[in-house]
Each structure stands twice: as C-alpha cells, then as structure tokens.
C-alpha cells in the first residue's frame, strides 16, 4: 500500500518539477534558435544564401582577430592604445548572414555581403621593388652615367689596357611618414564587417595612394618624396611629322637601348592610355587589336603599360623597374585610441593608418620622361572604304 504524500512533500515535488522544466527549457532554447535560423535561411529565394568566407584574409580581418584589438575593445576602455602591423592588402569583402536577438524582441536579420568601395587599379608602386630598411636616412650609390670608355683590345704585349671610368655619387634619402586618420564611434568597432571596410578600403587605401603619388610625382623633401619624374632623363627624340604617340614611345625605347638599358615599364595617364588604345587605321581598324579581346597585361612595344591617375596627361615615363625601389622602413600600421580631445567622454575613437617609406633611384639614366608629340590618331591623306588585304575580315 502506498502512503499518500504529505502537503510538504507535494510542495517539494512541485518545486523540483518547475526547476527541471526551467533547466530543460534553457537547454532547448539555443537549439530552437538554431532551428529557426536554418528554417529562415531555407525559406530564402535561390542565390540569397551567404557567400563562402574568402581564403585570403584582408587587413581588416587580421586586425579584428589580432590580440591587440581584443585587449583594446571597449570592455577595457582605460587600456593603452593598441596597434597591429598590417600589410596593405585589399580584397573582396564578404560577411555571413547572422540572426541578432535582443531580449524578447523580434530577431534582426543582417543581410550577407557588403557594398565595397571601388578598389584603385594597380599603380606605379606595384611595379617596382620594395626594399626593407632599418633607419630614417638611407644612403646608396647612384650611377650617374654609363662606364666609359669600356673595354678595349690590348694590341701588343705590354701596352696599357683601357681604364674604365665609373661615375657614381653618394645619395642620401630620408624616410618620410605618410599617414591618414579619422574618427569613429565605439559602436562601429563592435561591427567587425564595417571595420573591415573602414580599414581595407579607406585609410590603408588612402595611404597607399599617397605613396604612389609621391613616388611618381613628389616634389621632394621635406614635404614629399622626390618623385622619379623629377630625376628621370629627358626625352631627346624628335618624332617626324605624321607620328603618333606610339612612335614617340618607340623612339624613347631606342634612346634607352643606345645606353644598354632594356626598359620594361611605360607609365601613362588614364586618358592617354585610352587614347592610344583607340588609335585606328584609315580604314577603321584598331591598331592595337580587337577591343573585344582584353589583354591580361596591357603592353606596348613589349613594355608593361601602367595607367596611373597621378601622371599628367600628355606625358610619359619609360624605364627599367629594377633600377628604382621603394624603401620600406615601416609597413602600414593601424592604431586606435580614445586619447584624443574629448573622445573618451563621447564614445569616439581616433583611427590612424601610416607607413614610413623613401624612394631610391639607382640609375636615373635608365628612365626617360617627356611629352607626346603627334596626334592620337593615324594620319591618312584619304579615307579608304576598302581595307587592304592584310586587314582582319
């Protein structure tokens, strides 16, 4: 025979039931949210599933994962400003779709992907070497002319052999700091996707673009690097009447070839690059090829063509890339701090990107710059309606 429970036992059993139910509910809740999230994703139309995480981490992703950033985050607002060393690398930015919840509010869906800013095309600094340095001033020997008179034959035994003169001079180049900064709220720092865009596409890109500009057209210390255009040899050719810019480039190559230099780069303004691409014959055929077929690496007379927005329209630069170098004292760094004005009390922070670089031009005679002579169109005394036999059908 079972004895009936006392009122106290009934109360204890009811309390245990409530406790177990609450614990089971707490355990099931996260699983239910995951199931709801999967159901939401499954109901999306084709093509709306989040993209795969890219294989290559961007600068922003590395920064957000860095130990320095984790230690700095607003949970520790009194900490010292933290920085992370980063390479300037801009790539495709993607995010995973996530379900955000706040208490009993309805879930907030964050759509996958971000609207990335346009990435600048490959510039001049992407096509010359970078050399690491460890000081704020760099000295090197610059070759000012080719060795003369070169080797000669010793006609008879005992005759003096040819003495070669090598013209060099010691150059001293300063390393300059090139930087950009802006402010942001602490809230945006908690949104790592926005941080990716901010770091990769804004400050680091702005710093890189300024390095590219100064390396090419800088006016010189103390304000800027001394750009290679101010050091390069002047073009000495005189293209005949009826020449096009393509002819001018060929003559500049010949000027360097006479010195034993084999150039590999041609820097143009975007406008001039486009004008040269559209030069046509008198019967309407594009000289540089079918516009429906785009070359992976644009070239002219065997030179890699760089369309750099910092180049002045109507000018060109031709040279051998190995005879110049960017002096890399400090790779791009991103630092964040509250310690600016009243930013701490306003929940703002200052974010800075900077690099320390210089420029060395070892052989100025290996670079030629000048102005284009001739029209950006093929000359013809008469327009023929029938193309010659060699023309493409």
DSSP conformation class of 203: I
User: How far apart are alpha carbons 318 and 245 in whole angstroms?
Assistant: 13
Q: Give me the residue spans of the domains in the chain.
A: 124-148+167-371
Summarize pLDDT for 120-177 with one digit per residue, the tens: 676 899 899 999 999 999 998 988 877 776 788 888 888 888 878 888 889 999 999 9
- The more confident residue out of 256 and 94 is 256
User: How far apart are alpha carbons 192 and 129 in whole angstroms?
Assistant: 33
User: How far apart are alpha carbons 30 and 33 in whole angstroms?
Assistant: 5
Cβ count near 363 (within 10 Å): 21
User: How far apart are alpha carbons 163 and 356 in whole angstroms?
Assistant: 42
Summarize pLDDT for 260-285 with one digit per residue, the tens: 899 999 999 999 999 998 888 888 88
Nearest Cα to 343, choosing from 149, 127, 183?
183
| Tokens standing for residue 71 | 């230690």
Instruction: Please tell me the pTM assigned to this model.
Output: 0.67
- The CATH-assigned architecture of domain 124-148+167-371 is 2-Layer Sandwich (3.30)
User: How far apart are alpha carbons 366 and 379 in whole angstroms?
Assistant: 31
Quick one: 201 exposed, middle or buried, by C-beta within 10 A (0-12, 13-18, 19+)? Answer: buried
Secondary structure of 300-357 in the HEC alphabet?
Answer: ECCEEEEECCCCCCCEEEEECHHHEEEEEEEEEEEEEECCCCCCCCCCEEEEEEEEEE
In the chain, DSSP assigns E strands to 82-85, 98-100, 108-110, 130-132, 137-143, 168-174, 176-185, 233-234, 265-268, 299-300, 303-307, 315-319, 324-337, 348-361, 367-371
């Amino acid at each position: 025979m079972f004895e009936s429970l006392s009122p106290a036992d009934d109360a204890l059993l009811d309390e245990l039931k409530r406790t177990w139910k609450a614990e089971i509910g707490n355990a099931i809740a996260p699983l239910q949210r995951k199931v709801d999230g999967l159901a939401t994703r499954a109901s999306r139309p084709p093509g709306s599933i989040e993209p795969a995480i890219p294989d290559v981490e961007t600068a922003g992703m590395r920064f957000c994962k860095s130990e320095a950033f984790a230690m700095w985050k607003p949970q520790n607002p009194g900490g010292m400003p933290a920085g992370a060393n980063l390479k300037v690398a801009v790539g495709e930015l993607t995010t995973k779709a996530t379900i955000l919840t706040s208490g009993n509010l309805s879930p907030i869906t964050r759509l996958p992907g971000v609207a990335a800013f346009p990435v600048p095309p490959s510039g001049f600094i992407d096509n010359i070497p970078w050399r690491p340095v460890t000081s704020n001033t760099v000295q090197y020997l610059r070759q000012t002319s080719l060795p003369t008179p070169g080797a000669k034959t010793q006609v008879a035994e005992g005759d003096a052999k040819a003495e070669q003169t090598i013209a060099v001079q010691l150059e001293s180049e300063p390393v300059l700091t090139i930087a950009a900064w802006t402010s942001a709220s602490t809230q945006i720092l908690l949104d790592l996707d926005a941080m990716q865009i901010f770091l990769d596409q804004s400050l680091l890109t702005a710093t890189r673009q300024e390095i590219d500009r100064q390396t090419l057209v800088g006016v010189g210390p103390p304000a800027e690097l001394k750009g290679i255009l101010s050091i390069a040899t002047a073009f000495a050719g005189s293209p005949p009447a009826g020449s096009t810019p393509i002819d001018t480039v060929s003559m500049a190559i010949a000027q360097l070839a006479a010195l034993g230099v084999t150039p590999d780069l041609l820097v143009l303004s975007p406008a001039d690059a486009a004008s040269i691409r559209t030069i046509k014959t008198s019967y309407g055929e594009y000289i540089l090829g079918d516009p429906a077929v785009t070359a992976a690496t644009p070239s002219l007379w065997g030179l890699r063509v760089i369309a750099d927005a910092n180049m002045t329209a109507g000018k060109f630069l031709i040279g051998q890339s190995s005879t110049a170098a960017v002096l890399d004292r400090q790779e791009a760094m991103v630092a964040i701090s509250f310690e600016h004005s009243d930013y701490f009390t306003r929940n703002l922070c200052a974010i800075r990107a900077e690099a320390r670089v210089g420029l060395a031009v070892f052989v100025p005679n290996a670079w030629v710059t000048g102005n284009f002579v001739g029209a950006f169109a093929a000359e013809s005394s008469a327009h023929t309606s029938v193309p010659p036999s060699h023309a493409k059908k």
